[in-house]
Structure 1
């Protein structure tokens, strides 16, 4: 079986994450969410509210006009046959700590392959079985594993599991509800705005992490690079050893 290239995609809202999984998964697929279930569901509801189509209020201004059409519904809230069938092929796991993640990956094997029912009418296409990880970098932040050593150990274990089980590994980070900065106020050309937006959402890969576990943060330092004793490296360079960085529909 040819090796499936691991992918690192731009930070996404929870609703964008689920939309991607539904569109690109094949049986079997595992979705690893690196945060408590309650936190993710809260963020998911907020992101659905934010990205739902907005109805036109002018249609209801005139009382004598025809009854207003129902407000558009977010696609994730429409129980289509495709969504129902696809969701049954996706195993969702909530991982609260780095220790839980590594223990889960160590036990990941054939039992995960047979735990989900095989869809009877699934067509063979270009989609691949996936291991999708949401929030891997954030899971390590502010822990003793926040280093190139700690993050690299988790990433290499994840890629090894993907190769062993014949699955493509896809990593996302969670992005904020709104992109910071003054992008909406820019009057520059559209291409420049898109370039600025791309740099903004991908700042997660530019975060500096110390090389070794146990590095000491120095107080009173301005930049993230200067805040750590010893050498630091960008998080994206750690992922770049195994992952290919790609753009996505939501950027």
Structure 2
């Protein structure tokens, strides 16, 4: 029996890949709910690129190269043997629509993932299980007819069933946005935490609800009852902070 599904705080694409490479156990599957070009663009923007130095003008005194420290490189840009080996055992699938997601989950796991693990096997010993990581599940439903508690419930139920069928630990992570920073009070201290605004968004209960114009608040813009996305997820998931938040 796999562990209960886990919903982590939103992450940048680079933080997502670092998490998967760190925690993956063969066979791990990463579902990216974005077109491939959109994700790669976001990934490049989230990784600091080394600055290329311009050649000095003629007759300029050149500093000793040993006196200058090279700029630090992002860990994803360093091709270590462990990173190369683990990346080859992660199955990455790009999911453009809700229909594609449900179709993929209905036949999960694919037959190719039932094969023997690659050699040499670098998995960590212990009780860890393979992962089924989904990135951007909320945004995949946004601005579609499935933007409702009914639509989310159908997708999440399919995801949980696929994880149980494939004996995978399910982890869902949303993409971190600039506005994903808020102040929360813990005791007498105010701490700046990124990430949880997405779970406070409200959606209508049923598919096909009409959104009424002329209202400022999200809740009153929908006809009928609404519910927070976090409450929908809480039926199946427990919530936690990602490694990227713990390091801050």
**Change over 3 Å in CA distance of 1:207–1:220 after alignment to 2:** same
Q: Which moved more, 1:102-111 or 1:230-239?
A: 102-111
**Change over 3 Å in CA distance of 1:116–1:101 after alignment to 2:** farther
The whole-number CA distance in structure 1 between the counterparts of 2:119 and 2:173 is 26
| Residue of structure 1 in register with 2:141 after alignment | 140
What is the number of equivalent residue pairs in this alignment? 232
| Residue of structure 1 in register with 2:193 after alignment | 197
Unaligned runs of 5+ in 1: 55-61
Deviation at 1:119, TM superposition (A): 3.8
The whole-number CA distance in structure 1 between the counterparts of 2:50 and 2:126 is 31
More strand by share: 2
SS in 2 for 1:9: strand
Q: 1:15 touches 1:48 (CA, 8 Å); kept in 2?
A: yes
Q: 2:180 touches 2:196 (CA, 8 Å); kept in 1?
A: no
Aligned pairs for 1:59-70 (under 5 A) are 64=63, 66-70=66-70
| Residue of structure 2 in register with 1:32 after alignment | 31
Q: What root-mean-square deviation, in Å, do the aligned CA atoms of Structure 1 and Structure 2 show? A: 2.5
Q: Which moved more, 1:62-71 or 1:212-221?
A: 62-71
Deviation at 1:179, TM superposition (A): 4.9
| Residue of structure 2 in register with 1:57 after alignment | none
Deviation at 1:180, TM superposition (A): 5.4
Deviation at 1:72, TM superposition (A): 0.8
The whole-number CA distance in structure 1 between the counterparts of 2:25 and 2:63 is 50
The whole-number CA distance in structure 2 between the counterparts of 1:72 and 1:231 is 51
| Residue of structure 2 in register with 1:167 after alignment | 168
What are the Cα deviations for residues 4-59 of structure 1, in whole angstroms up to 9, with x where unaligned?
Answer: 2110000000000001001111000000000000000000000012xx799xxxxx
State yes or no: 1:10 paired with 2:9.
Answer: yes
Deviation at 1:3, TM superposition (A): 3.1
The whole-number CA distance in structure 2 between the counterparts of 1:243 and 1:63 is 58
Q: 1:24 touches 1:128 (CA, 8 Å); kept in 2?
A: no
2:200 aligned to 206, 213, 217, which one?
A: 206
SS in 2 for 1:245: strand
Deviation at 1:114, TM superposition (A): 2.9
The whole-number CA distance in structure 2 between the counterparts of 1:121 and 1:64 is 46
SS in 2 for 1:144: coil
Query: TM-score, structure 2 length as denominator?
Result: 0.86
Deviation at 1:68, TM superposition (A): 1.5
Deviation at 1:248, TM superposition (A): 1.9
**Change over 3 Å in CA distance of 1:78–1:110 after alignment to 2:** same
Q: 1:85 touches 1:119 (CA, 8 Å); kept in 2?
A: no
The whole-number CA distance in structure 1 between the counterparts of 2:202 and 2:241 is 22
What are the Cα deviations for residues 184-211 of structure 1, in whole angstroms up to 9, with x where unaligned?
Answer: xxxx99x8453x324xx20000000000
Aligned pairs for 1:106-125 (under 5 A) are 106-114=106-114, 117-123=117-123, 124-125=125-126
Q: 1:27 touches 1:119 (CA, 8 Å); kept in 2?
A: no
**Change over 3 Å in CA distance of 1:231–1:119 after alignment to 2:** farther
